[in-house]
Structure 1
């Protein structure tokens, strides 16, 4: 189980016809409460897709009743028409679930530049709202509906001994680079927490997981990680305990994303010791991970440690090269 592991949530994944393959392509997750607290983090790419622009407004008050996601089109670089499609999608969810459209997050993934077919989305939202269920099958259907070039659905769950749970689903296989790494992630919990606590925990968890994943160095326009809390367990965990569980789910999903990255033949963990700061360590690790020289060595199974050292100490713009001369 994943997003339906936590009490107070239903999910569905249906076929709307957005994908030429005929696979599931619209997912819907509803928070039944009693709380509807939420937090989210988004792509740091300066070009943000229309669903991101919409969802950034929705999350501002920390209240989310539902989240609708589609694959088969990113709805990015689609102009005002694309934003209207996003807005209308949220309205459709609101109408079917009897909630405010302003409390509905919208996520899209797929090819950039193509307009989404609103008629197909309309049918997809209708069908998904009817099929909302609890249980593992509903959670997996939703996880499959957000897949693009993914080969397998990504799901993770952590259950606390205190009676609350955290579950998540993710998609992402290409454009994997820090600043979330290309992904749509929905995480649910039945812990009783407000949006402020959720935001603090989510930012720490993503910092230690998704923000450390790098495959091709390309950052997506649609990255979204959303965390929803229903409070259905009636338990308010301590901040450290909840953050640890959330981080565990995020790391699990990160490893699944890494294992399914497009064209990847090796999984590599880069550890930096004795750095002056965490930021410096991350910069060094990122420089190595994005080095074509290093990637060529890994691909060729060549244990040339010089190709690890070389990428992280390039000259700065202010540095000068000293020419050597013979006496």
Structure 2
């Protein structure tokens, strides 16, 4: 279930020829009535942001959108004024058959950086893209498939709660780092919501999901999360309780997508979760979790199925968080391996068996306060290096 599971939204995906392999590479999500609806977006904080990011930011100034066009196979990043022209033309070419303004269309791109993207295959593919717009599951799946790059599976989500529903599709398998991942996500809902609430909901949802996800520490030029609300459920979010329920639904959607991205990370053999508890402040908790997740030594230990807690303690100490290492406890898969900053006796054979599992849980208690943070990351494998040793 995906974006088309939400009443009032349609989607499609086609192969237009951006990718030489001939696989789907152009997607569209649009309102079924072809009218702009409240919308919001969160984008990369990379100063070298791509042309589609710049164009979508400008188009979202109105707080409304009717459609999102997405391509894979070329990031349209580091392409200067030419690239901005291509991004704008993509919006114009979709706007015309939909009967909306160019500024009512948002645009996303993902793929190789620094390669000028021709508008020709996109222009040729858009008529079929619009004609194929559908509201069934197949249409949603085709759109989700068309935005993938090195991903091996589609990332989709659907939640129905409190009388409204939320559907989403996303891509992302590498260059995943805090402050947004190399990812695209389109989230749609039939709730009644203002652009301001959508902004708040996205900020809330992204904070503990995409912004607490790390694979290789690289921040992309194209990160984009978009949220559109068509209000077709007639469920208003204008009370505190309903607004909270709506924000929680967006948060859960973002969480589902971010975990799916980590699980599909390039070359990953382990999906790890680091939970830091007992921090003095929330900032300390997040810093400590991020420091552990970003450590290539910790990532390599995971690849080797080695519960090397010394590397974890070292990263905690280097994180900038305020705590006493000699009061710190560390565990792997609920087995305590470090207590009060020194090695703790444990069943090494039993722990070694659990370390062979795909999912690994690392828990750290700093015993300096009551704040906590959770972050998802992966191991660092030979396959990841092979995948990224050349342009990708």
> Scaled by the length of structure 2, what TM-score is found?
0.79
Counterpart pick for 2:245 among 234, 241, 248: 241
Could you list the per-position Cα deviations for residues 86-136 of structure 1 after superposition, in whole angstroms to 9, with x for gaps in the alignment?
A: 111111011111101011110000000111121101012221111101011
State the aligned residue count. 315
Which SS does the other structure have where 1:288 is aligned?
helix
Which SS does the other structure have where 1:57 is aligned?
helix
Q: Does 1:50 align with 2:51?
A: yes
Could you list the per-position Cα deviations for residues 156-178 of structure 1 after superposition, in whole angstroms to 9, with x for gaps in the alignment?
A: 10012x43110100001110001
Q: Distance in 2 between matches of 1:197 and 1:165?
A: 16
Q: Distance in 2 between matches of 1:142 and 1:81?
A: 26
Equivalent residue number for residue 325 of structure 1: none
Counterpart pick for 1:292 among 293, 296, 301: 296
Q: Does 1:24 align with 2:16?
A: no
Instruction: Indicate conservation of the 8 Å contact 1:50/1:76, yes or no.
Output: yes
Equivalent residue number for residue 322 of structure 1: none
Could you list the per-position Cα deviations for residues 48-92 of structure 1 after superposition, in whole angstroms to 9, with x for gaps in the alignment?
A: 000000011111221011000000100001111111111111110
Equivalent residue number for residue 275 of structure 1: 279
Equivalent residue number for residue 12 of structure 2: 12
Report the alpha carbon displacement of residue 194 of structure 1 after superposing the two structures with TM. Answer: 1.0
Report the alpha carbon displacement of residue 308 of structure 1 after superposing the two structures with TM. Answer: 0.5
Report the alpha carbon displacement of residue 287 of structure 1 after superposing the two structures with TM. Answer: 0.7
Work out which structure has the larger RCO, using CA pairs closer than 8 Å and 6 or more positions apart in sequence: 1
Q: Distance in 2 between matches of 1:264 and 1:17?
A: 29
Counterpart pick for 1:255 among 247, 256, 259: 259
Instruction: Indicate conservation of the 8 Å contact 2:36/2:65, yes or no.
Output: no
Could you list the per-position Cα deviations for residues 12-50 of structure 1 after superposition, in whole angstroms to 9, with x for gaps in the alignment?
A: 001101111111100001123676000100001111000
Which SS does the other structure have where 2:253 is aligned?
helix
Which SS does the other structure have where 2:203 is aligned?
helix
Q: Does 1:206 align with 2:206?
A: yes
Q: Distance in 2 between matches of 1:278 and 1:250?
A: 20
Matches within 5 A, 1:154-169: 154-160=155-161, 162-169=162-169
Q: Distance in 2 between matches of 1:124 and 1:163?
A: 37
Q: Distance in 2 between matches of 1:151 and 1:61?
A: 36
Which SS does the other structure have where 1:23 is aligned?
coil
Instruction: Indicate conservation of the 8 Å contact 2:36/2:66, yes or no.
Output: no
Matches within 5 A, 1:57-136: 57-136=58-137
Report the alpha carbon displacement of residue 280 of structure 1 after superposing the two structures with TM. Answer: 1.4
Q: Distance in 2 between matches of 1:315 and 1:208?
A: 19
Unmatched 5+ stretches in structure 1: 317-327
Instruction: Indicate conservation of the 8 Å contact 1:78/1:114, yes or no.
Output: yes
Q: Distance in 2 between matches of 1:36 and 1:5?
A: 17
Equivalent residue number for residue 227 of structure 2: 227
Report the alpha carbon displacement of residue 293 of structure 1 after superposing the two structures with TM. Answer: 1.5
Instruction: Indicate conservation of the 8 Å contact 1:31/1:228, yes or no.
Output: no
RMSD across aligned positions (CA): 1.3
Q: Does 1:306 align with 2:307?
A: no
Q: Distance in 2 between matches of 1:61 and 1:286?
A: 35
Q: Pick the structure with more strand per residue.
A: 2
Q: Distance in 1 between matches of 2:183 and 2:310?
A: 33
Equivalent residue number for residue 321 of structure 1: none
Q: Distance in 1 between matches of 2:286 and 2:72?
A: 32
Report the alpha carbon displacement of residue 315 of structure 1 after superposing the two structures with TM. Answer: 8.8
Q: Distance in 1 between matches of 2:218 and 2:163?
A: 39
> Scaled by the length of structure 1, what TM-score is found?
0.94
Could you list the per-position Cα deviations for residues 258-306 of structure 1 after superposition, in whole angstroms to 9, with x for gaps in the alignment?
A: 0000011101111111112212111111111111111121111111211
Instruction: Indicate conservation of the 8 Å contact 1:32/1:230, yes or no.
Output: no
Report the alpha carbon displacement of residue 207 of structure 1 after superposing the two structures with TM. Answer: 0.5
